[in-house]
Every structure is written in structure tokens, then in C-alpha cells.
């Protein structure tokens, strides 16, 4: 595999991770805009000219919107409708499910680091957990070494943020582990999307 292919594979592994965490405040609204087909230019204008996410810059607004679109769009119209109407706890789990499916590194981190930390009865996630994880992954996925330190750092920040937002960690500073159990409707979606392999990932069990 040449260096270009190695870099492409690494980017695919961290896909859209720099776009943000779960984007809780924005995802429901973006999902609503995806229910009906519309020209790309018209969809973009919702987040730039009209600024329906009410961000300080058009760049931030469209970056968030595109990240959410790429996570939700492949999962179908019914999934987007579920996101729009889900109560708070289910909403977070559905967004986490979409994030895990879209960005492969998240599932690996949850299994290799979060679940392993639980298995050895450590109460908190190490502050250098992400850096250590990436260093180990870079031994086999060498394209990670070609990404900038800023990209890798921002990616790690968003992984931790998403784990806090979805209830796996208490906060970004202490990073105390908290139990998360799949809600019945989340499990239904795992079955419907043919992703029952993610049950152990989302419950952080080995």
C-alpha cells in the first residue's frame, strides 16, 4: 500500500471526527431538513444565508450541518424521523449509534479502551487514553502518522466529548466511567440496521 492509500485509509478511520461531538443541539434540526429532497445549493443556504443553526459564522454552521448529514443520511428516512421524535436518552443513543457507524475509530476506542478500563475495574479513563490508543493503532494503520497533531488532538477531544454527552463519562476532566444500557428502541435499531455487533460496543462489554 502506498503512502496516498495509507493516508486515505487513516482519514476513513477518523472520518468526520473533527466535525464535532454528538452535536446534540444541532442534529434534530438538521435531521428535519433531510426529510425531503432538495437541491444541494438550497440545502446549503439554510445553514449559510438563513443560518438556521444560529452559529456565529456560516463556516461553522455548514460544517456542523454537513457532518450531521453524513452521519444520518445513510441510515434512512425512518432513522432520521426517529432522531427527530426521540426523547432525550434515546436521542443521545441514536446519535451515538450513527456516529459509531460513520466513524470506525469510535467503536475501536470504546472496545479497546473504555470497555477494557471497565474490565479491570478502574473507575476513570486515563487522561492520556486517546494518545496511547492512537500510538498503538498507528503501528498497523501507518497513515495515522501522516495526519497532523492538531487533527489527532481535535479528533480525541471530540471522542471524549461524545462519550460525555452520551453518558459514558461523567465529565471531560474527571472522566469517571458510568454504566450505559441500551434502551429497547436503540436495540430495535441495531437489529433493523443489521448492526447487532455494536451491542457490546455501546454497552462497553467484552
Question: How would DSSP label each residue in 64-111?
Answer: HHHHHHHHHGGG-HHHHHHHHH--HHHHHHHHHHHHHHH-HHHHHHII
Cα–Cα distance between 85 and 189 in angstroms, integer? 14
The pTM for the full model equals 0.95
Q: Is the model's pLDDT at 79 over the cut of 70?
A: yes
Q: Is the model's pLDDT at 100 over the cut of 80?
A: yes
- pLDDT, the chain, mean: 95
For position 201, what pLDDT does the model report?
A: 96
Q: Which of 70, 88, 1, 87 is nearest to 31 (CA)?
A: 70
Domain 3-203, CATH number (from 3.60.10.10, 1.10.3540.10, 3.40.50.300, 3.40.1670.10): 1.10.3540.10
Q: What is the mean pLDDT of residues 8-36?
A: 95
83 within 8 A of 28, measured Cβ to Cβ: yes
Q: What is the mean pLDDT of residues 63-85?
A: 97
Degrees, nearest 5: CA angle 35-38-40: 115
**In the chain, % of residues over pLDDT 70:** 99
Amino acid at each position: 500500500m502506498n503512502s496516498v492509500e495509507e493516508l486515505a485509509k487513516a482519514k476513513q478511520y477518523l472520518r468526520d471526527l473533527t466535525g464535532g461531538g454528538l452535536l446534540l443541539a444541532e442534529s434534530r434540526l438538521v435531521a428535519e431538513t433531510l426529510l425531503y429532497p432538495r437541491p444541494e445549493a438550497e440545502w446549503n443556504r439554510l445553514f449559510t444565508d438563513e443560518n438556521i443553526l444560529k452559529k456565529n459564522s456560516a463556516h461553522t454552521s455548514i460544517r456542523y450541518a454537513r457532518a450531521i448529514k453524513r452521519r444520518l443520511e445513510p441510515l434512512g428516512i425512518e432513522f432520521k424521523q426517529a432522531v427527530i421524535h426521540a426523547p432525550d436518552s434515546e436521542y443521545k443513543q441514536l446519535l451515538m449509534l450513527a456516529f459509531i457507524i460513520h466513524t470506525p475509530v469510535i467503536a475501536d476506542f470504546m472496545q479497546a479502551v473504555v470497555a477494557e478500563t471497565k474490565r479491570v475495574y478502574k473507575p476513570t479513563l486515563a487522561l492520556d487514553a486517546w494518545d496511547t490508543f492512537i500510538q498503538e493503532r498507528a503501528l498497523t494503520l501507518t497513515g495515522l502518522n501522516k495526519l497532523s497533531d492538531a487533527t489527532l488532538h481535535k479528533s480525541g477531544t471530540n471522542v471524549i466529548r461524545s462519550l460525555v454527552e452520551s453518558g459514558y463519562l461523567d465529565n471531560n476532566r474527571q472522566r469517571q466511567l458510568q454504566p450505559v444500557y441500551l434502551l429497547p428502541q436503540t436495540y430495535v435499531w441495531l437489529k433493523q440496521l443489521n448492526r447487532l455487533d455494536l451491542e457490546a460496543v455501546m454497552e462497553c462489554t467484552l
